[in-house]
Structure 1
């Protein structure tokens, strides 16, 4: 039987494969790792579940609820509208302003929340100014990640790393401990993107939705008169596939119903269909139908009372992830029809029911304008459309923001622990019905919490088993002869590399035990190395795996290689700055 260190490293290697090839979700992998180390006797159940009982989980859950409340109120969008109005048609000014706003907002809210609420405003500005949205969205995501490094709650990585180092014998991070270095990183990153980086990002102009999805879509209504031979038959029996028509919805009286294949047609039903012009012309000659209205589905040409079109992105924590579009009761839940799916540079317009949804998918939707507007702030499916003036909940957003500010002051002054301060805000929001408890639970990314708690336990297993010391000895034995600077640069680079198959937080939790053992090997302050690894995990821009980048991936119509080209040099710049600045603020 393998020794404890070998067993832990074998388990970690298997976990890398499972995550990298998307064979299992990362939260499930984290739970499997916990089961393995407990079954092998490396950790006791109490040690293994240390992460689940930590303050970090409570703090993160509370941050999700508070950020969701403020996002729903539309405060960030109000600020974004002002910013873009001042930018005019100056692309560089717009880039600097939106990156600055993104970085500032991310100090208090997660980079995912910040990116979600600013993306619709950026898309709207790009269409008005007739510039490529791709030149704004990627920098927006980058800035949210850089800004998140400035405070303890700015990113889940900072909070989870704080919990991990506490378990490894260090003092937890203070709320504003990273503020100075994070601010320098953000300013340098914004300056780089404004001067050089923006030229490395593709300029893809916004198109109308039909052209953007690579399909000429025509919408029409089929009416079924009393004498129609189709009455009483199921939609699947109508032969619409032969006519190249896709049923979208059925209007029966005042009720709008899903166009399920087993639904039977009744007299007077009005069926909205999508199809080619040739298909609609052939349907016009079919005696079973009467074509009431037809229009090319381009923006405002469809009467708003009949149908509007818009886009929405599947959020990383969405309940839709992993579900087939045809089996997700999509229409019943949202009263919207999916016309197409945009994923990783490809548009899917056929066999949509068989598509399994993934985080970052952009859905082209059709339905009533009110239903489209209702996606704003939805934690599962975030609408990429501005809904106009501030909503009535804006006052509640100000209240949530004020409560968060009070919690930050109390926690940073050591009056009460951060977890209690944030939890108190959530309780007040629930009691006052600003955010009812049921809605608050929906705002929490439970899978992220499970992943962080599980990887915290596994990180402890790496330390207890001696696996971390074994890896650190191997790495430092090879790098240490080149000096301490080269050694800490290698740790930062390895952390960045690990963020690719793993999440940022998981990479930090894996590397921290190795980093602290490396610090012992080198004879330097372990806190300096812990800070280096924590910040490195949040500053990898070379692939769209971070949720903040996943959100802009589809709307920006990026290709995977765009992130390597646009974010690679920025990542190298951030690593260089960390290696230079960390020893200044946390002497080795």
Structure 2
């Protein structure tokens, strides 16, 4: 028992210091328990097969899909409209919305659903996400106190009461307690989060990240004079190749892309295929050509080949939904020619970017001038910057294979930022399906199973570019941290450390009266939950609280509520609850951030509950 407590204490010291990564500290503690023969290898590795850990992995994938499809941005923009320009109103909306969802969905699921939305919301509002993410995690736990199914400790005390022959609690017996928790949380978190979380530095982007896609589009004027041309059934273009049209020489126009896709009949699984306007690309009926150039020349071309100009003369800014220049499969990037390049003084046509790398040159930036027309005959100079267009992989290949130029920015990183917004309805439907499976008991699907189903569906329906993109959304530091710390609770129970601590504290306070006993049970539960799971703590302390109350001859209900609230309202460490761990990487929090914000909230919540619980449930 002593060895287990020493290992736990040393781990806590390293967690607080922050000099070693938290997941590495947790793994070292796990190895120490193995070497001291406190846990068997099977027991030590049980955390990695825990449903909590598997659920976390699945929820990272679901959250990533919500972000990747732009669904997070859509929802956050609606919330932002309600909040207006008030930071306080935005803070309250996030807390209240999270708590409302948390009353019916597991707190881990609530945070995973809200996390991408809140990050997008904070970025849109110009706030640091860290100001909202820790309160988000705490609010999900507070919301869980409002209903019987909100959090596992609530069900634990229900079982303890009914097993002892008492009347069962109703679904909303917890609502008054949950509302008090929420009120206390809002009052305490507003100043603490502003004091300790607002001043945190935002993550600096890589200095080599280059310009954003939107900046490149605006700088080279690609969004100006952008037209969509529909190849009709009777058009002369159907069956022709791009090189046969010779549109650039004849009309001075540039085909940026060919887009084809089924946008109406199969809406749920709809896809948009973007094709580069390569010379051998064959045009088909119903293709949409994205063309830039002078409107009069576009009209002349459209009349001659019997194609329809869609949406009139519109630009990306004026008609974003229909006439936008998207980068789902095709991207753009700048490359700068080296002074020693062998390509200098050769024409764009002679260099053969299209033939060798399957990319088009859309523009040349020469000091402050932008050359956008008749590029094939333009000779490149030392220091020229070329804007190229192609598939993301081909642009990335330019960076790997080219010795005469340097690709500015990180094309694949930019590709990852492009939202697949046409998949937002799919992601929304899958998210709602997951919530329904979690909320309604008559659906015989465990929460972890519903999360796994949702994660797999997100990948299969194309809400990610590929499976690798889904894997990249998983934060393995948080997963390993929780998985390695879960067996610590088993070690504390196995060695009798947790039982000895709880029995000693509770029995010692029983002689001082009901309030002292209630306070002892609450803060013992709160302390133990910092090191072992809240469910395990509730299972351990609920019978002790019940017997202690019966020995004093008083109502056990407030004491059991003290166990439930103490186990759920644990905010002082990142690994005390999965929601705390989930927001840690996104908010760039350290262990001490949880101590600064969470510990005062945890103590104040305990003091308030010691006085409120007897008022709601008299002794």
Provide TM-score, normalisation by structure 1. 0.53
Q: Cα distance 1:202–1:400, how it changes in 2: closer, same or farther (>3 A)?
A: same
Q: Equivalent residues in 2 for 1:8-407 (5 A)?
A: 8-22=4-18, 24-104=20-100, 107=105, 109-111=109-111, 114-126=114-126, 133=127, 138-139=131-132, 141-151=134-144, 180=175, 183-185=178-180, 187-189=182-184, 192=187, 197=191, 201=195, 256=335, 266-267=340-341, 293=367, 367=409, 372=414, 374-375=416-417, 391-407=421-437
Once the two structures are superposed, residues 317-355 of structure 1 have per-residue CA deviations (whole angstroms, 9 ceiling, x without a partner) of xxxxxxxxxxxxxx989x9xxxxxxxxxxxxxxxxxxxx
How far apart, in 1, do the equivalents of 2:396 and 2:174 lie? 46
- What secondary structure sits across from 2:47 in the alignment? coil
How far apart, in 2, do the equivalents of 1:507 and 1:150 lie? 18
How far apart, in 2, do the equivalents of 1:401 and 1:563 lie? 33
1:460 counterpart (471, 480, 490): 490
Could you tell me whether the CA contact under 8 Å between 2:572 and 2:599 is conserved in 1?
A: no
- What secondary structure sits across from 2:49 in the alignment? coil
Shift of 1:465: 1.3
The answer to whether 1:531 aligns with 2:564 is yes
Give the aligned partner of residue 280 of structure 1. none
How far apart, in 2, do the equivalents of 1:34 and 1:537 lie? 22
Q: Higher mean Cα deviation, 99-108 or 466-475?
A: 99-108
Once the two structures are superposed, residues 67-114 of structure 1 have per-residue CA deviations (whole angstroms, 9 ceiling, x without a partner) of 322232232322221222233344543443343344446656453663
- What secondary structure sits across from 1:52 in the alignment? helix
Give the aligned partner of residue 425 of structure 1. 454
How far apart, in 1, do the equivalents of 2:572 and 2:200 lie? 28
Could you tell me whether the CA contact under 8 Å between 2:34 and 2:40 is conserved in 1?
A: yes
CA RMSD of aligned residues (A): 5.9
Shift of 1:528: 4.7
How far apart, in 2, do the equivalents of 1:9 and 1:182 lie? 33
Could you tell me whether the CA contact under 8 Å between 2:522 and 2:563 is conserved in 1?
A: no
Unaligned regions of 5+ residues in structure 2, if any? 164-168, 212-331, 345-364, 369-384, 388-394, 400-407, 550-555
Q: Cα distance 1:516–1:266, how it changes in 2: closer, same or farther (>3 A)?
A: farther
How far apart, in 2, do the equivalents of 1:438 and 1:124 lie? 27
Q: Cα distance 1:550–1:193, how it changes in 2: closer, same or farther (>3 A)?
A: farther
Count of residue correspondences? 422
Shift of 1:178: 10
Could you tell me whether the CA contact under 8 Å between 2:515 and 2:610 is conserved in 1?
A: yes
Could you tell me whether the CA contact under 8 Å between 1:462 and 1:468 is conserved in 2?
A: yes
Q: Cα distance 1:527–1:47, how it changes in 2: closer, same or farther (>3 A)?
A: farther
- What secondary structure sits across from 1:405 in the alignment? helix
Shift of 1:394: 0.7
Provide TM-score, normalisation by structure 2. 0.51
How far apart, in 2, do the equivalents of 1:269 and 1:545 lie? 55
Give the aligned partner of residue 552 of structure 2. none
The answer to whether 1:416 aligns with 2:459 is no
Could you tell me whether the CA contact under 8 Å between 1:71 and 1:113 is conserved in 2?
A: no
How far apart, in 2, do the equivalents of 1:47 and 1:199 lie? 38
How far apart, in 2, do the equivalents of 1:420 and 1:545 lie? 22
Could you tell me whether the CA contact under 8 Å between 1:460 and 1:513 is conserved in 2?
A: no
Q: Equivalent residues in 2 for 1:508-587 (5 A)?
A: 508=534, 515=541, 519=545, 522=548, 528=561, 530-538=563-571, 548=583, 551-552=586-587, 564=596, 570-579=601-610
Give the aligned partner of residue 450 of structure 1. 480
Q: Higher mean Cα deviation, 96-105 or 8-17?
A: 96-105
Could you tell me whether the CA contact under 8 Å between 2:571 and 2:580 is conserved in 1?
A: no
Shift of 1:421: 3.0
Once the two structures are superposed, residues 274-319 of structure 1 have per-residue CA deviations (whole angstroms, 9 ceiling, x without a partner) of xxxxxxxxxxxxxxxxx9759xxxxxxxxx998xxxxxxxxxxxxx
Could you tell me whether the CA contact under 8 Å between 2:14 and 2:20 is conserved in 1?
A: yes
How far apart, in 2, do the equivalents of 1:452 and 1:205 lie? 28
Once the two structures are superposed, residues 18-59 of structure 1 have per-residue CA deviations (whole angstroms, 9 ceiling, x without a partner) of 322335433344344444444444444444443333333333
Could you tell me whether the CA contact under 8 Å between 1:540 and 1:571 is conserved in 2?
A: no
Shift of 1:468: 1.6
How far apart, in 1, do the equivalents of 2:571 and 2:481 lie? 16
Once the two structures are superposed, residues 194-242 of structure 1 have per-residue CA deviations (whole angstroms, 9 ceiling, x without a partner) of 9x748964998999x9xx99x9xx99xxxxxxxxxxxxxxxxxxxxxxx
